[in-house]
C-alpha cells in the first residue's frame, strides 16, 4: 500500500504544481515508511519539505499554504501525534471556510500512520479517527487496500476540503492490484468487499482484513457475511450501508478504535436512524477495549479486536450465542 | 530598502495614516457602545491605544501582501483597507458582513484585501502565516505575510514552532508582537523573565527589533525594512511594538486590575494625538484639517453602523451552508 500512496503523490505533484508535502524525514529519507520516496529528487526542496519536529507548525503551515492556493499534504509520522496538531486541524483547517462565510477554501490533507498491532505501545498505537469525525468541516478517510489508498489519496488531494487520511501501518507492506492508468476513488463512497445475505459487517482500514478473514471462516459454517468497507467515514456513505442492512437485517461494526464514543457507535446510530425497522437483531460493535494500548504481545492482542472477536460478533448478531464483551 | 525621510514625506499619505487611526478609534468606541446596547453578541476586543501599530505596519505593505490577525483584530482589518460597513455588519451579525454573520468580531476574513483571517486562538495563526508565506513564494508571488500576535501569545508553544519553521524555510514572513503589557489580568512581566520579547528572535537566528508601538512612522519604517528583507529572501523578522491597550480586555470584561496611574501615563502617550501634533508641527497640517479628519472618521463609522443595522439578518437555514467547499460528494442533506 505504501507504493500505491507513493504513486498517488507522484502523480498529483506532477499534475498540480501547487501540491507540496511537508513532514518529518519525508524528503531525504523518503519517509519512515517510504511513502514519500523519490519526491525530493523529482520536485525539489520547496515542495518536499523536511520539517523540524514541530507537528503543530507543520499542520498550521499546511493550512496557511492552502489558503493561498496550494494543496499541501502534511505527513504525521505516527498518527498518535494528532494530539499535537489538534488545534490547527480542528480550530483552523476545519473551520476557516465556515467562519469566513465561505470566502476561503482549505484544500489540505493530513496523513498519518496508525501503528497498532506491532508493539509500539500506548503513544504510538491509537486509532483516533472518531476525534475528527466529531469535528465539523473535516473529511475523514481510512483506506484498506492499495487500490483504494491510491485512488482515495488522489481524490483527497484534489478535494477543496481538509481531509484527515489515516493509514494503518501494517497495511503498508500489504500487496494488492493497482492498475497502470490514471484513476481516482471518489470520497464518500463505500465499497462492498464481499457480498453475503446473512449479516452486514461494516468496517474500514485494517478492520476490513479482519472481517474478510472472519467471513471466510463463517462461510464454512454456512453463514454469508457481507463486508462493507466504508473507506470514507465522513461523509459516510449511508446509502450503501443501509442498503446492505436492509438486505441482511443484521449489523456488526468492526473498528480497531477504543469502544466508547467510537465511529462504530456512530454507524450503529445512523443505521438505527434510517433503517431501524429492517434490523432483526440488536447491532453489535466489535472494537478495541477502552484501555491505552499495552506493549507486550499477549496484552496488545487482548485489547485489540481479533478475527475470533469478529466471528463472535457475527454469531451474536445472528443470536446464535451471547458473547461477553461484544454484545450490544 | 529606501528609508523615507521626513523631508520627503507625502503629506497626503501621512493624513491617510491619521485617518485610518481615527477610524479605528471611532470604530472601537462605537462597537463598545453597541455591545452595551446588546446589538453585538459575545464580545468585542477593542484596539484603542494601539492604533499606530496596525496602521504603521500596514502602511509598509503592498497589495500582494497578507496579514493574519487576532481576537483583537478590528484595527488590523481597518489598517489593511477593509470596508468599515462590511466589518460592522459582520460584528452585528448581519448577512452583508464579511463572513455573512458566521464569524463575528473575532473572525473577519477578506482575501481580496490580503486579510487571511482573524484567529481567536492565541498564537493560533502563527504557523498559518508561515505556511501562507511559503505558499506565496511557491506560487511565484512576491507577497509577504505579517503575523500579528500579542505579548500573551509570545509564550504559546506553537509560536515557537512557527518561528523556528519560518527561520528554517527562510519564509517571507514578519512576526509583529504587539506588546500591550497585559494579557487580560496578567502583566507581561509576570509571564516572562525577559524585558523584550524581541530578544527571542536571536534563538531562531533572525533579527528582533523593539520599536515604539505608539509611533506610527517608526512602526512603518521598521516594518518596511523587515518586509524588504522577507521579500528579498532574507527570511523573517520579529518586531516587538511596545504599546498599551487603554480600553479593557474586552467590552464584556468588567474587571480591570490595572493601576489607574498606569492608564493615565499611557493616555498621555496617545498615538493619535501624538501623530496629530507631529503633522501640525513638522508638516504644517492646519488644526482645522486635523479636526476634519477626525470628524470624517466618526461619520464613516456612523455610516457603517447605519449600513449594518439596515442589513438583513441571516436566514436560519444559512447556518448549514459553507461547512464544506463544493465537492462531488456533497449532495444536499448528505451530512444532515
Whether B212 shows a pLDDT value over 70: the answer reads yes
Q: What is the DSSP track for A97-150?
A: HHHTTS------EEEEEE-TTSS--TTS----HHHHHTSTT-EEE---SHHHHH
CB-nearest to A91 from B109, B124, B161 is B124
Question: Is the residue at B330 inside a domain?
Answer: no
For residue B177, is it within any domain?
yes
Q: What is the pLDDT of residues B46-55, one digit of tens each?
A: 999 999 999 9
pTM of the model: 0.95
User: A138: distance to nearest CA of chain B, Å?
Assistant: 8
Mean pLDDT (chain B, rounded): 95
Higher pLDDT, A327 or B211: B211
CATH number 3.30.70.3270 given to A2-171: no
Contact B135 A92 (CB under 8 A): no
Distance from CA of A29 to the nearest CA of B (A): 18
Q: What is the pLDDT of residue A218?
A: 98
* Domain with B234 in it: 9-248+261-313
Task: Residue A52: list chain B partners with CB under 8 A.
Answer: 161, 164-165, 168
Return the CATH number of the domain spanning residue range A191-317. Answer: 3.40.50.920
**B197-220 average pLDDT score:** 98
Stretches in chain A below the pLDDT threshold 70? 321-328
CA distances from B145 to A74, B29, B67, B105, B293 (A): 21, 29, 5, 21, 30
Interchain CB distance below 8 Å, B124 and A65: no
Question: Measuring CA to CA, which residue among A283, A286, A284, A192 is closest to residue A237?
Answer: A192
B296 falls within a domain:
yes
Distance CA A18, CA A2 (A): 22
Average pLDDT of chain A to the nearest whole number: 96
**Least confident span in A206-220, B55-69, B182-196, B298-312:** B182-196
Strand order in the sheet with A191-194: A191-194, A225-229, A199-203, A251-258, A284-288
| B3, part of any domain | no
Instruction: Name the residue among A47, A57, A104 with its Cβ closest to that of B161.
Output: A57
**Which chain A residue shows the shortest CA-CA distance from B162?**
A57
User: Domain coordinates of chain A in residue numbers?
Assistant: 2-171, 191-317
Instruction: Tell me if B141 is assigned to some domain.
Output: yes
Task: Please report how the helices B287-310 and B84-91 are oriented relative to each other, as an axis angle in degrees rounded to 10.
Answer: 50
The answer to whether domain A2-171 and domain A191-317 are alike in fold is yes
Instruction: Kindly report the backbone phi and psi dihedral angles of residue A263, in degrees, each rounded to the nearest multiple of 5, phi listed first.
Output: -65, -25
pLDDT of residue A327: 42
Does residue B253 form part of some domain? no
Residue labelled with grid coordinates 454484545: A327
Full DSSP string of B207-226:
-EEEEETT-HHHHHHHHHHH
Q: Which of B161, B168, B204, B313 to mutate to test the interface with A (most CBs of A within 10 A)?
A: B161
Q: What is the mean pLDDT of residues B93-122?
A: 97
Of B99, B135, B139, the CB nearest to A64: B135
Integer CA distances (angstroms), B209 to A210, B164, B178, in order = 59, 17, 12
Distance from CA of B106 to the nearest CA of A (A): 9
> What total of structural domains would you count in chain B?
1
Chain B residues touching A274 at Cβ < 8 A? none
Share of chain B above pLDDT 70, in %: 96
Q: Which residues of A are catalytic?
A: 124
A chain contacts of residue B161, beta-carbon cutoff 8 Å: 52, 54, 56-57, 60
**What pLDDT is recorded for position B255?**
87
What would the pLDDT profile of B250-288 be if each residue is shown by its tens digit? 999 888 889 999 999 999 999 999 999 999 999 999 999
- Please report whether residue B336 resides in a domain: no
Shortest Cα distance from A80 to chain B (angstroms)?
A: 18
CB B116 within 8 A of CB B82: no
Q: Do B329 and A70 touch (CB under 8 A)?
A: no
Chain A residues in contact with B157 (beta carbon < 8 A):
56
Cβ atoms of A112 and A75 within 8 Å: the answer is: yes
Burial (0-12, 13-18, 19+ Cβ within 10 Å), B121: middle
State the ipTM, two decimals: 0.94
Per the domain annotation, does B205 fall within a domain?
yes
Task: For chain B, list the strands marked E by DSSP.
Answer: 66-69, 115-118, 145-150, 173-179, 182-183, 186-187, 208-212, 237-242
Contacts of B330 in chain A (CB under 8 A): 235
We report the CATH number of the domain holding residue B274 as 3.40.50.970
Size of interface A-B (CB pairs under 8 A): 184
Band of the pLDDT at B333, cuts 50, 70, 90? low
Amino acid at each position: 500500500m505504501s507504493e500505491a500512496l507513493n504513486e498517488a503523490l507522484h502523480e498529483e505533484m506532477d499534475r498540480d504544481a501547487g501540491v507540496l508535502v511537508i513532514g518529518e524525514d519525508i524528503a531525504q529519507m523518503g519517509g519512515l515508511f517510504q511513502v514519500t520516496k523519490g519526491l525530493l529528487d523529482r520536485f525539489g526542496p520547496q515542495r518536499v519539505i523536511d520539517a523540524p519536529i514541530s507537528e503543530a507548525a507543520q499542520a498550521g503551515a499546511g493550512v496557511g499554504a492552502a489558503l493561498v492556493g496550494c494543496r499541501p499534504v502534511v505527513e504525521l509520522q505516527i498518527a498518535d501525534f494528532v494530539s499535537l496538531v489538534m488545534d490547527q486541524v480542528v480550530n483552523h483547517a476545519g473551520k476557516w471556510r465556515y467562519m469566513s462565510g465561505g470566502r476561503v477554501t482549505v484544500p489540505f490533507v493530513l496523513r498519518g500512520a496508525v501503528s497498532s498491532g506491532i508493539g509500539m505501545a500506548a503513544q504510538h498505537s491509537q486509532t483516533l479517527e472518531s476525534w475528527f469525525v466529531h469535528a465539523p468541516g473535516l473529511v475523514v478517510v481510512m483506506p484498506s487496500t492499495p487500490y483504494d489508498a491510491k485512488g482515495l489519496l488522489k481524490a483527497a488531494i484534489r478535494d477543496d476540503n481538509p481531509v484527515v487520511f489515516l493509514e494503518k501501518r501494517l497495511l503498508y507492506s500489504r500487496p494488492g492490484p493497482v492498475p497502470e492508468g490514471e484513476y481516482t476513488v471518489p470520497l464518500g463512497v463505500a465499497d462492498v468487499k464481499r457480498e453475503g445475505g446473512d449479516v452486514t459487517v461494516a468496517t474500514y482500514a485494517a478492520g476490513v482484513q479482519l472481517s474478510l478473514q472472519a467471513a471466510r471462516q463463517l462461510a464454512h459454517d454456512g453463514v454469508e457475511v457481507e463486508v462493507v468497507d466504508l473507506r470514507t467515514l465522513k461523509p459516510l456513505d449511508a446509502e450503501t450501508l443501509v442498503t446492505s442492512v436492509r438486505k441482511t437485517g443484521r449489523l456488526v461494526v468492526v473498528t480497531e478504535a477504543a469502544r466508547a464514543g467510537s465511529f462504530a457507535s456512530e454507524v450503529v446510530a445512523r443505521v438505527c436512524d434510517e433503517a431501524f425497522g429492517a434490523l432483526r437483531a440488536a447491532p453489535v460493535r466489535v472494537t478495541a477495549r477502552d484501555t491505552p494500548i499495552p506493549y507486550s504481545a499477549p496484552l496488545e492482542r487482548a485489547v485489540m479486536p481479533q478475527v475470533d472477536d469478529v466471528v463472535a460478533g457475527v454469531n451474536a448478531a445472528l443470536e446464535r450465542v451471547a458473547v461477553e464483551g461484544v454484545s450490544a | 530598502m529606501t528609508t523615507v525621510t521626513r523631508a520627503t514625506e507625502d503629506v497626503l499619505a501621512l493624513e491617510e495614516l491619521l485617518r485610518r487611526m481615527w477610524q479605528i478609534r471611532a470604530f472601537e468606541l462605537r462597537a463598545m457602545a453597541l455591545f452595551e446596547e446588546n446589538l453585538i453578541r459575545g464580545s468585542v476586543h477593542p484596539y484603542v491605544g494601539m492604533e499606530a501599530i496596525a496602521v504603521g505596519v500596514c502602511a509598509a505593505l503592498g497589495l500582494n501582501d497578507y496579514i493574519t490577525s487576532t481576537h483583537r483584530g478590528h484595527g488590523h482589518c481597518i489598517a489593511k483597507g477593509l470596508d468599515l460597513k462590511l466589518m460592522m455588519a459582520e460584528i452585528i451579525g448581519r448577512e452583508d458582513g464579511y463572513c455573512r454573520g458566521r464569524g463575528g468580531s473575532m473572525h473577519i476574513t477578506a482575501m481580496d484585501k490580503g486579510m487571511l483571517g482573524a484567529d481567536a486562538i492565541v498564537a493560533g495563526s502563527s504557523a498559518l502565516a508561515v505556511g501562507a508565506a511559503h505558499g506565496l513564494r511557491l506560487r511565484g508571488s512576491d507577497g509577504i505575510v505579517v503575523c500579528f500576535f500579542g505579548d500573551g501569545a509570545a509564550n504559546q508553544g506553537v509560536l515557537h514552532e512557527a518561528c523556528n519553521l519560518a527561520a528554517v524555510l527562510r519564509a517571507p514572513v514578519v512576526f509583529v508582537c504587539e506588546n500591550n503589557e497585559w494579557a487580560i489580568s496578567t502583566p507581561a512581566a509576570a509571564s516572562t523573565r525577559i524585558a523584550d520579547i524581541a530578544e527571542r528572535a536571536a534563538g531562531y537566528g533572525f533579527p528582533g527589533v523593539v520599536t515604539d508601538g505608539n509611533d506610527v512612522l517608526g512602526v512603518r519604517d521598521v516594518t518596511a525594512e523587515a518586509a524588504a528583507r522577507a521579500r528579498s529572501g532574507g527570511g523573517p523578522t520579529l518586531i516587538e511594538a511596545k504599546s498599551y491597550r487603554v480600553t479593557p480586555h474586552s467590552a464584556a470584561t468588567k474587571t480591570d486590575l490595572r493601576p489607574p496611574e498606569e492608564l493615565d501615563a499611557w493616555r498621555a502617550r496617545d498615538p493619535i494625538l501624538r501623530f496629530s501634533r507631529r503633522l501640525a508641527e513638522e508638516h504644517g497640517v492646519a488644526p482645522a484639517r486635523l479636526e476634519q479628519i477626525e470628524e470624517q472618521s466618526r461619520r464613516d463609522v456612523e455610516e457603517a453602523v447605519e449600513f449594518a443595522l439596515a442589513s438583513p439578518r441571516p436566514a436560519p437555514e444559512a447556518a448549514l451552508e459553507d461547512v464544506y467547499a463544493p465537492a462531488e460528494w456533497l449532495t444536499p442533506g448528505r451530512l444532515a
